Amino acid sequence: MSRVSESGLPIEPVYGPSALEGFDAAQQLGEPGSYPFTRGVYPTMYTGRPWTMRQYAGFGTATESNERYHRLVEAGTGGLSVAFDLPTQMGYDSDDPMAHGEVGKVGVAIDSIEDMRTLFDGIPLGEVSTSMTINAPASVLLLLYQLVAEEQGVDAAKLTGTIQNDVLKEYIARGTYIYPPTHSLRLISDIFAYCHREIPRWNTISISGYHMAEAGATPAQEIAFTLANAKEYVRAALAAGLAVDDFAPRLSFFFVARTTLLEEVAKFRAARRIWARVMREEFGARNPSSLMLRFHAQTAGVQLTAQQPEVNLVRVTLQALAAVLGGTQSLHTNSYDEAIALPTEKAARLALRTQQVLAYESDLTATVDPFAGSYAVESMTDDLERAVRSLMDAVEELGGAVAAIEAGFQKRQIEQSAYDVTTSVEDGSRTVIGVNRFRREADEIYEPLRVDPTIEAGQAARLARLRADRDSGEVTRHLADLRSAAQGSDNVLRPMREALRALATVGEVCHVLREVWGVHQPADAF
């Protein structure tokens, strides 16, 4: 009897040659580093060097997060990944009434260039690749990073890293949006144009399926809705007058890695193949780099459990293995205690060690794409490709990603999938170790990391000093320039950069854009 995958597709008990009847290896696979990139985006993949090992970190104050970054770098992490607190993600300063109770809770609080300077104190930004999980205010945090690098004497052309900058998925699954979709797309196009000229090695967007998966999306939905969003970004950039091969090579993606290893490997392979064909056939891209779906993966936080948290070490290892066998370019492994609270230092170190064992003690880096030609994986890749294409076609029939978002299509699909998973856990048809099987009567007491509640007052005091010491007239002039650019068609990042240089705060910059563009109100908010 066959099982069903997370995407609802059949998994046969045995796959043989008949599973690949009509399979054209040259057309479907190609060689690693060659169109359609099913086998990976680079010819040598990990045989040249391992994937970039990122650890997502940030909590409390910039000083505390900086200390954690130094320890991660010393432990061997190859790239930093910054978590921002909720007020920063929403474009509010720490002393704004809207920020009360959330400062420093789920990430680091960044209010101005002073905080960003502290965050990266002693970190050589010309040598370290930095990923920042920030969306609606992505332009603001990127510019603060550039200004701090400038103070370190680092040429912006040498900076490498990624801003998530994927606001469409916020309307679908996560909710940290600010501006209406049309204005958000304009801001993203401005970022593409600015970085093409100023920060050419920076990945200007990380189009994310991860958060949709965490909200309940199946693997097929995760890929379909992510690629549909990506098409919308490409169209917005083209409409703004950018040439596809000028910005497409800096597009990157962000996916989840679940414990269902075979389907996850097939998912990543299908995603690369679909994107290569979309970019070539629909958008006429000619630069091979424009056709490559380069992605960061993070192990599935939603699959971690507060019950028997040490079992999460096993889950994370399996998820990391799926990401590596699927050909990820960088990887973050979750800490085993994240279902309880912010990770402790020990847990974060173990998460990094998990990647290091896979990279240096296994044979995963000895050969490229070891699953190529597998009856099971190739068949599952084809099945997923068809399912993803069908969902993408449904989005197109509604008028594209934005129109589908406004109609609530993606949100309804994901909510139904989340409901199905929840009911299957509750009725026992889906096993979750420690939750509905192999439970213990009483788990040991676990002491989580806690954020100092006085952080909010400290941030407010620093903001008061900054506003008292800065040249308020200069700040006002630069914010006026930003307002004029937002009202017109000039690129908003240049006046934004000068306002931030003059010590304007994150909240002040975002409030100017709120005043001009408004704030998004979801259709189901009333």
Q: Is the dihedral of CA 494, 500, 501, 502 positive or negative?
A: positive
pLDDT digits (tens, 9 = 90+) for 39-54: 999 999 999 999 999 8
Q: Residue 9 pLDDT > 80, yes or no?
A: yes
CA angle at residue 190 from 187 to 191, to 5 degrees?
A: 90
pLDDT-derived band at 521 (thresholds 50, 70, 90) equals confident
| pLDDT one-digit tens code per residue, 46-78 | 999 999 998 766 667 899 889 988 987 887 776
Taking the CB of residue 127, how many other CB atoms lie within 10 A of it?
10
Give me the percent of the chain exceeding a pLDDT of 70.
96
| pLDDT digits 0-9 by tens, 481-496 | 999 999 999 999 999 9
**Mean pLDDT in residue range 346-353:** 92
What does the pLDDT average to over 249-260? 96
pTM of the shown model:
0.90
Per-residue pLDDT, 1: 53
Strand pairing report for 3-4 and 10-11: antiparallel
pLDDT recorded at residue 444:
61
Q: Which of 353-362, 375-384, 447-456, 476-485 has the lowest mean pLDDT?
A: 447-456
526 band by pLDDT with thresholds 50, 70 and 90: very low
Q: What is the pLDDT of residue 448?
A: 66
2 vs 471, residue with greater confidence: 471
Chain segment 93-144, per-residue pLDDT in tens: 999 999 999 999 889 999 999 999 999 999 999 998 999 999 999 999 999 9
Residue 279 has pLDDT above 80, yes or no: yes
Residues 155-185: pLDDT tens digits? 999 999 999 999 999 999 989 999 999 999 9
| Section 311-328 average pLDDT | 98
Query: What average pLDDT does this structure show over 429-446?
Result: 84
Within a 10 A sphere around the Cβ of 247, how many other Cβ atoms?
A: 23
Return the pLDDT at 58.
Answer: 65
Burial class (CB in 10 A: 0-12, 13-18, 19+), 419: exposed
Write the pLDDT tens digit of every residue in 283-310. 999 999 999 999 999 999 999 999 999 9
Provide CB contacts within 8 A for 475, sequence distance 6+: 499, 502, 503, 504, 508
pLDDT band, very low/low/confident/very high, at 451 (cuts 50, 70, 90): low
Q: How confident is the model at residue 525 (pLDDT cuts 50, 70, 90)?
A: very low
Asked if residue 349 has pLDDT above 80, the reply is yes
- Provide the pLDDT for residue 263: 98
Supply the pLDDT for residue 166: 96
Q: Which CATH architecture has domain 48-363+371-407?
A: Alpha-Beta Barrel (3.20)
pLDDT at residue 453 in the model: 76
Contact call for residues 89 and 108 (beta carbons, < 8 A)? no
What span, in angstroms and rounded, lies between the C-alpha atoms of 70 and 77? 10
Rounded mean pLDDT, 11-25: 89
441 pLDDT higher than 90: no
Please determine, for residue 8, whether its predicted confidence score (pLDDT) is greater than 70. yes
Interatomic CA distance for residues 433 and 245, integer angstroms: 47
Per the prediction, the chain carries an average pLDDT of 94
Domain limits, the chain:
48-363+371-407
Pick the closest to residue 396 from 276, 290, 293, 278 (CA basis): 278
Residue 316, pLDDT > 50, answer yes
404 band by pLDDT with thresholds 50, 70 and 90 = very high
